[in-house]
Structure 1
Amino acid sequence: MDRGALCAGVRRVHPVIVPRALGTVGARWPQNGAIDKPYPVEIVPLIPEFLNRRRTKFTYPLRVMEDLGIDRPAFGFVIGGVALQPDEGARLVDVFNPYATVFDQWNAAAAAARGAGLVDEVGGKWRATGKGRDLFARVRREADAFLATLTPIPSADLARLAGLLGRALAAVEASDVPKDHIPRTARFKGDGTIAMVALENALFGLWQARDDCHMSSWRAAAFDGPTFDVLTRVWRKEAQSEQELATKLAQQRPDDLRRALAKLRRDGLVASEGLAATERGASMRQAIEDETDRRFFAPWPSDVGTQGPWIRDHLAAVNAYLAPAA
């Protein structure tokens, strides 16, 4: 997760694609929804767009940071990370990014947050202190008040949009998708009687659900997070050489990257020469994308699914209001 996403309470999720063999995996995950294909996948990129924009003009955190003597990374470490975890705390890999092997980039933020008495660390697990949870609650209340001032689309449409997406979230929550991140939604939620807050609740929850659907899809294909991230970068053609790839994967140790590439080559997913996905590797990566979509959308009620174009258009309008084009 990058720091901008963290401050918005958003985890990075690969723009997703399980080999055709995963059709058998899908059969082990029956869903209760009745949505028909094609799935409304055009909604997916609008979710993080909303989450990254909806508090752009929310200035309360600036005052809090000044009062506490902390910077934005430390604030985000608490509000967008540790405070969303269970009372017993969580390891950094569970708080942030399952694709990383090193977390040194968070050392300064963690130290500042701990120095301010907002978090502590015991046995490798980070948890919010009472002071940290009080800060989270204050930020939540102020965010609700801020969001209540926004009218991006007519109020009836905003309420309908929040309601449809809230029903989609409830359906995924009731499904048998593994729930690593979905429980964060209950800790994040604000006052759902405010339409914009209800929309934020729904979209934050759907993004956690999307993450869980994606992670369960690549785990079902026998990947670990760091190795899967390497395959994704190669498949996207983000680098022309291993050296260039290493610069784009600063969250992994060079030795971890070399081991991941060696495994992917042994498995026939990355070419033995150069840096390119094989036909099998590309097919597998696309299939994981497809399986992620299936797990995410299959539980949605059919009447919500049929409103996909309406949801897309109105969510896009909300996003445009939050950050008008230059």
Structure 2
Amino acid sequence: MLTVERLTKTYRGHNAVRDLSFTVPDGQVTGFLGPNGSGKSTTMRMCVGLETPTSGTATFDGQAFRGLRHPSRVVGTLLDATWFHPGRTARAHLAAMAALAGLPTSRVDEVLDRVGILQVAQRKVGGYSLGMKQRLGLACALLGDPAHILLDEPVNGLDPEGVHWMRDQIRQFAAEGRAVLVSSHLLSEMALTADRLVVIGRGELIGSGTVEEFVGAAGSGTVEAEVSDPTTLVAALAGQGIAAEREGDTVTVTDTAVTTTLIGELCLDHRIVIRSLTRATPSLEEAFLGATADAVEYRAV
């Protein structure tokens, strides 16, 4: 398990990350979400020793990254898919990494095959698309068969088929018992991939928990009722202190405390025929935008 405890990073008096604490459990995918500039990449870099925290700790099964005897066997990372030397082949990159880590050379072809680029392993990386580089980066992360995997925007540059493939890979990592931390700006993809979420804004924790808990905290959504007598229903709701909007025969209530059961009972009491009665729950995107509204550094105009 990855444990982040009161992690802080200050640059020239500005807190890029502030007093941040969360966990990434084994056997689960934890989605790491936040607006641009919220500190996600800085946090991940601190976890693996690429940035020095001002204070706080990040530990893998109780050990800091810099204290690990064989780091590649504990943590695998894909933080930047553009660092590869363009004049080297994918196999050469991985062979060098295996030699440095004291890993058997047999692992090179194993991970190349797993990420689907074994057939192009002798091509120079300079000729790879960004999506192929993402796959190579994933191969590097898997080389030591680590128990923890950190991926920063792993679907960047992938076509729809590649995104689906990456999602399956990430889910498989968790199924194998690994602790997986994934940052992404594709909220729809995180809704399909993550078991849990950690959401930050301006370097601080906004919320954490399962996807269902995070969406549920945003409210239970709106209730829409198409009825035979919308005027009477609106008046009945107003009598209970509940505001409602009417458009044609449809009455909409945004009060999250209002249930479909209450609407049904009011309609029964006033002999109103219900044609349809639905609750629209917020999406992950709607919940995220609501939770981070005050933490956005800039807005579209």
TM-score by length of 2: 0.29
Structure 1 or 2: more helix by fraction: 1
Question: Which structure's CA Rg is the greater one?
Answer: 2
Structure 1 or 2: more strand by fraction: 2
TM-score by length of 1: 0.27
